[in-house]
Structure formats: structure tokens, C-alpha cells
Amino acid sequence: MNRFDGKTVVITGGNKGIGYAIAERFTAEGANVVIASVEPQVEEAAAKLRESGAAVSGVVCDVTDPEAVRVLYERAFDEFGQVDISVQNAGIITIAKVEDLTEDKWDATMAVNTKGVFLCCQEAIRQMRKHGRGGRLINTASGQARDGFIYTPHYAASKFGVMGLTQSLAKEVALEGITVNAICPGIIKTDMWDYNDRVWGQMLGDYGPGELMASWVQNIPMKRAGEGKDVAGLIAFLASEDADYITGQTINVDGGLIMS
């Protein structure tokens, strides 16, 4: 018997990086999984996950589009008969000095990282109410929601917003058996890491490829960057019965980088 046998999990941004590692974890533990992302390559990622024998669908969905989000959750419900767990993982980052931080960059970041999380929570709750057996919502914030970093006020604000909406929704749905929690990953090796290394590296000094991130890793008490599976482990715990009595919380997963 696996921990998530018979459960259906929706994971946004599930085609790569942290989201893909989360999908791997849930499929390994018996869940039916629906991964969603903007690019059509999500279908290929779903096919790869299916090689393990798991039931996995890939859906193209821009989380900033309410209609696309509605279709995503309806498809998950229609295909698997229920939505039990929803992981709001899709996110974007850009890095810019204050004078160069355009309104477009600000709005795009808020749209994906904050509004997108809300829209997915809203639709997931709608589907969870259909079966009335509760559910789990897990929202991805960031260490930057704990400690804002230079040249990313829009990203930090968007992730602070995730913590706020997590607390508010947690209070609203607590009596329905639905928990809502957020997580704050620290420095995790993904495409986003590569972008951060390159752009911050150029802006903060004369860093060669990998050098800036390597120097930041030295600030982590565990002296290593995180991997997708480190984040997936926390998500799986929050989605499990062991976390029945945890809601409205934001938990760091960062090797001790931020201790608050």
C-alpha cells in the first residue's frame, strides 16, 4: 500500500525543475498525477513519468488565465474522478535594478506567482468540494518571502503575497478538511538557478558561470544546494495524513539558510 494510492494530484509547473521532482515523488507513491505548464513539452514530461507505470496527464495551462485553470482542474476531475492535492508550484523570476523594473515585469511576476496561485487554489477548492472529502493545497513561496533580496522586489512581493493568501484561505476552508500551506525553497538547482547565477552574477560582480551560486552555497549551514527531491519530500509530507493538523503555515526547505 502506497501513501497516495488512489489520490489525484495537480502540479503546476510540473514539466521540469522542482515541479517535475514533485511529480516523480507522487507517482512513486501511487498517486494519479496531472502536470501543467505553459509549453507543449509538458506532454513529453508526462509521457516520461508514465514510463514508471503511473497514471499521468500533461496539460498545457497558463496559470494566469482563469479559463485555462478551470479547464485544467475539470480535466483532472473528469479523468481521475477527484482532485485531492494541488501543488501551486509554477513561478517566474526576473532580476532588474529599480530603474529598469518595468511595469510589465512587475505585472507578469504578480500574475504568475501570486494570481496564478490563487486561481489554482480557487479551482482546486471547487473540485474538492464536489467530493467533500477535504484536500491539500500546497503553495510555493520562496526564501525571498522571508528575506527580500537585491534587484527582485517584484519577485519578493509576489512570494510574500503567496504567504498571505495561504493564511487567509487556510482559515476559510479549515472546517472542510482542506489544509492550505506554503513552502519556501532556498537555493535549488534548476533552470531558475542557472538564470539567477548568470544574471545576478553579471550584476553583482565579475562572476564566471557557477561562481556566484557556489559562493552563496557557502552561506548555507549544510553547505550544499537543494535538489528538487528535497522540496518534493516536504510537499509529500504536507500532502500526507501525517500533516492533518497543519494548516496556514509556511515552511522553509533550504538547508538552514534562513532560520525564521
Question: Which residues here bind ligand NDP, judged by CB under 6 A?
Answer: 12-13, 15-19, 37-39, 61-64, 89-93, 112, 116, 140, 142-143, 185, 187-188, 190-193
CB of 212 to ligand NDP, least distance (A): 13
Q: Which amino acid is at 158?
A: S
What cell was used for 149? 533580496
Q: How far is the CB of 88 from ligand NDP (least distance, A)?
A: 8
Whole-angstrom CA distances from 233 to 58, 156, 223, 227, 257 are: 22, 24, 19, 10, 18
The residue (of 135 and 143) whose beta carbon lies closer to ligand NDP is 143
Helical (H) or strand (E) element with 130: helix 116-131
Compute the least distance from the CB of residue 1 to ligand NDP, in Å: 30
Phi, psi of 228 (to 5 degrees): -50, -40
Report the residue number, 72 or 169, with the smaller CB distance to ligand NDP.
72
DSSP for residue 207: P
Give min distance, CB of 138 to ligand NDP, in A.
11
Sole residue written with cell 549544510: 222
Residue number with CB closer to ligand NDP (17 or 135): 17
Rounded to 5 degrees, what angle do the CA atoms 231, 235, 239 make? 170
Smallest distance, Å, CB 242 to ligand NDP?
A: 23
Q: How far is CA 32 from CA 3, 14, 27, 58, 208, in A?
A: 12, 13, 7, 12, 42
> Shortest Cβ contact with ligand NDP: which residue?
91
Burial of 103 (0-12, 13-18, 19+ CB in 10 A): exposed
Q: Which of 20, 155, 207, 245 is catalytic?
A: 155
Distance CA 184, CA 113 (A): 13
Nearer to ligand NDP, 91 or 201 (CB): 91
User: Is-catalytic flag, 155?
Assistant: yes
Angle between helices 103-110 and 153-173 (to 10 degrees): 30
- Known catalytic residues are 155
